[in-house]
Amino acid sequence: MDLENLTKQYIDGAWRRGSSDKTLTVRDPFNGEEIGAFRIATVDDLDVAFRAAQAAQPGWEAMSAYQRRDVFEKAAAIVGRRFDEIADLIRREVGGTALKAAFEIGLVIDALKEASHTGFQIHGSIIPSPVPETENFVFRKALGVVGVISPFNFPFFLGLKPVVAALSTGNGVVLKPHEETPITGGTLMAQIFEEAGLPAGVFNVVVTEISEIGDAFLEHPVPRAHVFTGSAPVGRHVGEVCARHFKKAILELGGNSAFIVLEDADIDYAVESAVFSRFTHQGQICMSANRLLVHRDVAEEFRAKFVAKVSSLRVGDPADPSTIVGPLINNREVQNLQKVVDGAIADGATALYRGETVDNVLGPIVLGNVRTSDAVAQGELFGPVILFLEFGSDDEAIAMANDTVYGLSGAVHTRDLMRGMNVAKRLETGMVHVNDSTISDEPIVPFGGEKNSGLGRLSGQSTIDELTTQQWISVNHGQTRYPY
């Protein structure tokens, strides 16, 4: 893959270097090899990007849904055609395994295909008026310009998803990708949309660092909304800044998902689903299962089979197609997780399994003898670490699952589907999957969390609700008689 343009800013339809004298170097998290380097963007570069989106947005919104559809369909075809090179880039920049790359690229293609239809679903309405000879029209309009801040874990999909949501509803976009993954999370999208025929200026990518721009991205007067995907502490700050400036904040934040196994579950299937829920992409997914809640009647059987399955996972180089657990994004994350695990063990937890750690590859870890009140069970474990807890009744499982400030995803395994549904309804999460993984994202189903896991929803009708505004226009066909 030619990285010449992919290591530049994409502003107003042009590839250019950032104005700062600072350089951001992108490295392979597995072997540390340099992939490319950016001259980062300054506040002045941000301003140019936002102004470009502001100038181009009205023309984009004025295009018919049929014209916008063509752009998204072409983009989906480009991604499909470039599957292998994109998968290789995901491996090199993100540390993604072959399984993870295929999963992520598939989600991107689905998102683009769905975006091609969104414009046809934006409908207004006519509402009766109590005033004689008057009609009330309610129109849906784009917000204008939307800022998007993407994460490092699934940068291609979690960057593109809000971008296409905003574009498909007629908005202009400025994207700031995470500094660890600025190519798959940013400039790669710009290259794809440029080839697909998106008008210049509608979509812009600025690669920069907070030390350079501070809150300028959030505070800029042009964007009317920001979509942020990342940690809860940073999301809280994003929400506070947006509120001060009367901007909408759509926040997709962390999780502490519970994977509940009732005593009548298919144990072998539940084990397979739980392993996928935790160890896909090294557990670096907001929806990953952090806590295994298993009924004590089947706890011994489940624990033995689960540990056996975890111990069989191939760990190491993501270039090996058989690898399941590759590197974390950087060594700082490895060290942080090791400290959390060591602290939990010091507090009484037991290591049911602890894989070997080599450089940025943290081997899988299963901790038992954990209580929901323990510090390790209260936070998000963004890596290949999972907790094993036992319960005795549905009520106890529900109380344990809800004993967290997070509420993003969850899973319930049982042969009694109505029982599973009833348990799921009582979980304080935005999404629950009965007899499936905690990891799921479908293009027309509302995606989002409760509590500290975020605000707002995207996908399907939720995209239209969040990223358009409503305007009331009344038309008086006669003349109103005023009281004075």
Catalytic one among 93, 104, 114, 252? 252
Mean pLDDT over 29-42 rounds to 96
| Catalytic-role residue among 61, 104, 194, 286 | 286
pLDDT band at 187 (very low <50, low <70, confident <90, very high): very high
| Structure tokens, 319 | 């270039």
**Confidence category of residue 4, pLDDT binned at 50, 70, 90:** confident
**C-alpha–C-alpha distance, residues 254 and 275, integer Å:** 19
Q: What is the mean pLDDT of residues 288-298?
A: 98
CA neighbor of 353 nearest in space, from 312, 400, 323, 383: 312
Average pLDDT over residues 211-234: 97
Length of the chain: 484
Give per-residue pLDDT as tens, 425-440.
Answer: 999 999 999 999 999 9
Task: Single out the residue of 172, 122, 236, 133 nearest to residue 11, CA to CA.
Answer: 172
User: CB of 186 within 8 A of CB of 193?
Assistant: no
Mean pLDDT in residue range 316-339: 95
Among the listed residues 383, 380, 418, 426, the one whose alpha carbon sits nearest the alpha carbon of residue 401: 426
User: How far apart are alpha carbons 456 and 239 in whole angstroms?
Assistant: 12
Letter string b/e over residues 54-66, b meaning 16 or more CB atoms within 10 A of that residue's CB:
bbbbeebbebeee
Q: Which residues of 99-123 are buried (b: 16+ CB within 10 A; e: fewer)?
A: bbbebbbebbbbbbbbbbbbbeebe
273: confidence class by pLDDT, cuts 50, 70, 90: very high
Residues carrying CATH 3.40.605.10, the chain: 9-253+453-472
Residue 418 CB contacts under 8 Å (≥ 6 apart), including other chains: none
pLDDT at 84: 97
Answer whether residue 310 shows pLDDT above 90.
yes
3-class state of residue 329 by DSSP: coil
Tell me where in the chain the CATH 3.40.309.10 domain(s) lie: 257-434
For the stretch 379-434, pLDDT in tens is: 999 999 999 999 999 999 999 999 999 999 999 999 999 999 999 999 999 999 99
State the Cα–Cα distance between residues 291 and 305, nearest whole angstrom: 16
Write down the pLDDT at residue 3.
83
With tokens 């539940």, the residue in question is 270
Active site residue 286: yes
Q: What's the pLDDT tens digit per position in 5-23?
A: 899 999 999 999 999 999 9
* Cα-based distances in Å from 170 to 116, 124, 141, 217, 461: 12, 15, 8, 21, 15
Q: How far is CA 92 from the centre of its chain?
A: 20
pLDDT tens digits, one per residue of 127-177: 999 999 999 999 999 999 999 999 999 999 999 999 999 999 999 999 999
Which CATH number is associated with domain 9-253+453-472? 3.40.605.10
pLDDT digits (tens, 9 = 90+) for 461-471: 999 999 999 99
Q: Quick one: pLDDT band at residue 267, thresholds 50, 70, 90?
A: very high
Q: Residue type for 129, please?
A: S
Alpha-helical runs (H) found in 284-349: 299-311, 331-346
Answer whether residue 338 shows pLDDT above 80. Answer: yes
Topology of domain 257-434, CATH: Aldehyde Dehydrogenase; Chain A, domain 2 (3.40.309)
Identity of the residue numbered 120: F
The answer to whether residues 209 and 179 touch, using CB atoms and an 8 Å cutoff, is yes
Q: What percent of the chain has pLDDT over 70?
A: 100
Q: Is 242 a catalytic residue?
A: no
pLDDT exceeds cutoff 80 at 2? no
- What one-character-per-residue DSSP string does 167-194 give? HHTT-EEEEE--TT-TIIIIIHHHHHHH
Long-range contacts of 333-336 (CB under 8 A, 24+ apart): 333/382, 333/383, 334/359, 334/360, 334/362, 334/383
